[in-house]
């Protein structure tokens, strides 16, 4: 398999843009990524387009926005891992030798979708609320509560994650929210699902991100700062009674992390920064442990000691994370690669959140409770 590098990235601001269609959003990111790479659509040989809630064929309609070049277009759906799956497919398209230049784009226009689309028409049959919860906010809260029960973690530990991520979002011009909050503010704003308050839950929103991948040997023509994709891993859950009757994401995240570190030939201590899937503040703390940043049960101590701040051992979510930056489902995984690329190039907008001399970064996405993707990039 050949080496693959990122030669261009583009990303819209994330937020609420009711006046923009999915095609507007996707086109904007694609045009920016091609401009960044110094190419036009005629150089792209294959396209992977990720959207969770859009109609089928969105990828082909997006291509029509910029040029009908007859290239293969694949529409990708993998819950919150939609975008990172598109990146992975683009990576393999080039790594395999089949194509020299591939594009991955993720775009989402979520309208006023709350609670991930459970509609009133299901009231007749849905056991939601009657038989516990099957929705994300409740389940990620339950995962945090289990951690509290097992390890003595406290709500403040999870709240500190939100304080951290919102603090860095202030310096991210593309972030949906750019407001810092104190620990008291985070803990006292309205509760959504205990212990996650409003500021501890990612918002729904609209946005798009795109990356252009190229074989390493041809990349010199396009960039003087090639950022290599050195591992692209995906896992699904193992069988346990919990993964069947509830959810269990630690095992598959651990497996993805182990495979990624092995493929990249490095360990967690070699990472300069991480963008991980903080859909809820409780999730981030658990992923510190799942990604081998600390031992089981030590996530609370890690945030207490500031080890994941800028200047700490391993900066996590300098973009503001999903909590502040937002989570337009299809775009998120691609946006992580954009962020990591800017950081490794030393070109992070804005520089206040730049990790100095960043050489190796990890992007982690959790799709529902059924898929985990990890990318390691480096220069």
Half-sphere exposure at residue 158, Cβ-oriented, CA atoms within 13 angstroms: 31
**376 vs 5, 215, 222, 308, 368, CA distance in Å?**
12, 16, 21, 18, 21
Q: Please identify, using beta-carbon distances, which residue of 83 and 144 lies nearer to other proteins.
A: 144
Q: Please identify, using beta-carbon distances, which residue of 194 and 296 lies nearer to other proteins.
A: 194
Give least dist CB 328 to other proteins, A.
Answer: 21
- Interacting span for other proteins (CB under 8 A) from 34-42, 119-127, 180-188, 364-372: 119-127
Which pairing describes strands 227-235 and 191-193: parallel, antiparallel, or unpaired? Answer: unpaired
Q: Is 252 in the site for other proteins (CB under 8 A)?
A: no
Helix (H) or strand (E) holding 101: strand 101-108
What six digits make up the tokens of 345?
Answer: 């190039």
- Interacting span for other proteins (CB under 8 A) from 16-24, 39-47, 62-70, 234-242: 234-242
Question: CA-CA distance, 29 to 111, in Å (whole number)?
Answer: 19
Exactly one of 124, 173, 311, 351 binds other proteins (CB under 8 A); which one? 124
Q: Are 284 and 317 in contact (CB under 8 A)?
A: yes
Q: State whether the Cα torsion 124-126-127-128 is positive or negative.
A: negative
Q: Please identify, using beta-carbon distances, which residue of 1 and 130 lies nearer to other proteins.
A: 130
Q: Please identify, using beta-carbon distances, which residue of 138 and 333 lies nearer to other proteins.
A: 138
Q: Are 194 and 70 in contact (CB under 8 A)?
A: no
Q: State whether the Cα torsion 159-160-162-166 is positive or negative.
A: positive
Q: Is 244 in the site for other proteins (CB under 8 A)?
A: yes
- Interacting span for other proteins (CB under 8 A) from 57-65, 238-246, 310-318, 359-367: 238-246
Give least dist CB 157 to other proteins, A.
Answer: 15
Active site includes 80? yes
Q: Is 130 in the site for other proteins (CB under 8 A)?
A: yes
Closest C-alpha to 334, from 30, 2, 24: 30
Active site includes 327? yes
Q: Is 129 in the site for other proteins (CB under 8 A)?
A: yes
Q: Is 45 in the site for other proteins (CB under 8 A)?
A: no
For 184, residues 6+ apart whose C-beta sits below 8 A from its C-beta are none
Give least dist CB 115 to other proteins, A.
Answer: 7
Contact positions with other proteins (CB under 8 A) in 140-199: 141-146, 148-150, 190-195
Give least dist CB 160 to other proteins, A.
Answer: 18
Which member of 157, 171, 287, 327 is catalytic? 327
Q: Is 55 in the site for other proteins (CB under 8 A)?
A: no
The DSSP line for 168-217 is HHTT-TT-S------HHHHHHSPEEETTEEGGGBPPP-BEEEEEEEEEHH
Residue with tokens 């398999």, as numbered in its chain: 1
# residues contacting other proteins (CB under 8 A): 38
CA 238 vs. chain centroid, Å, equals: 22
Q: Is 241 in the site for other proteins (CB under 8 A)?
A: yes
Residues taking part in catalysis:
80, 327
Report the interface residues with other proteins, using CB under 8 A: 115, 118, 120, 123-124, 126-135, 137-138, 141-146, 148-150, 190-195, 239, 241-242, 244-246
């Amino acid at each position: 398999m050949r080496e693959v590098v990122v030669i261009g990235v583009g990303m819209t601001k994330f937020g609420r843009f009711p006046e923009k269609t999915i095609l507007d959003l996707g086109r904007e990111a694609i045009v920016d990524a091609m401009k960044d790479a110094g190419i036009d659509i005629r150089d792209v040989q294959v396209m992977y387009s990720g959207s969770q809630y859009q109609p089928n064929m969105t990828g082909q309609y997006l291509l029509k926005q910029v040029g009908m070049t007859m290239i293969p277009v694949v529409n990708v759906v993998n819950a919150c891992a939609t975008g990172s799956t598109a990146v992975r497919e683009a990576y393999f398209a080039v790594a395999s030798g089949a194509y020299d230049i591939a594009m991955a784009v993720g775009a989402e226009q979520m309208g006023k979708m709350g609670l991930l689309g459970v509609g009133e028409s299901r009231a007749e049959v849905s056991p939601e609320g009657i038989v516990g919860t099957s929705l994300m906010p409740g389940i990620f809260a339950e995962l945090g509560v289990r951690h509290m029960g097992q390890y003595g973690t406290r709500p403040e530990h999870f709240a500190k994650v939100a304080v951290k991520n919102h603090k860095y979002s202030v310096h991210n011009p593309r972030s949906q929210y750019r407001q810092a909050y104190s620990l008291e503010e985070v803990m006292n704003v309205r509760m959504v699902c205990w212990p996650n308050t409003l500021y501890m839950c990612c918002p729904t929103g609209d946005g798009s991100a795109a990356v252009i991948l190229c074989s390493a040997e041809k990349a010199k023509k396009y960039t003087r700062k090639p950022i290599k994709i050195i591992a692209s891993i995906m896992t699904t859950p193992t069988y346990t009674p919990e993964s069947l009757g509830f959810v269990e994401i630690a095992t598959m995240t651990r497996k993805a992390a182990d495979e990624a570190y092995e493929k990249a030939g490095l360990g967690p201590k070699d990472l300069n920064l991480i963008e991980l899937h903080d859909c809820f503040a409780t999730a981030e703390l658990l992923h510190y442990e799942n990604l081998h940043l600390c031992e089981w049960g030590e996530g609370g101590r890690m945030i207490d000691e500031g080890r994941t701040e800028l200047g700490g051992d391993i900066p996590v979510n300098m973009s503001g994370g999903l909590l502040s930056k937002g989570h337009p489902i299809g775009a998120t995984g691609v946006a992580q690669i954009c962020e990591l690329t800017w950081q490794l190039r030393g070109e992070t907008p804005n520089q206040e959140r730049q990790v100095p001399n960043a050489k190796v970064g990890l992007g982690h996405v959790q799709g529902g409770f059924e898929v985990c993707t990890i990318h390691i990039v480096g220069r």
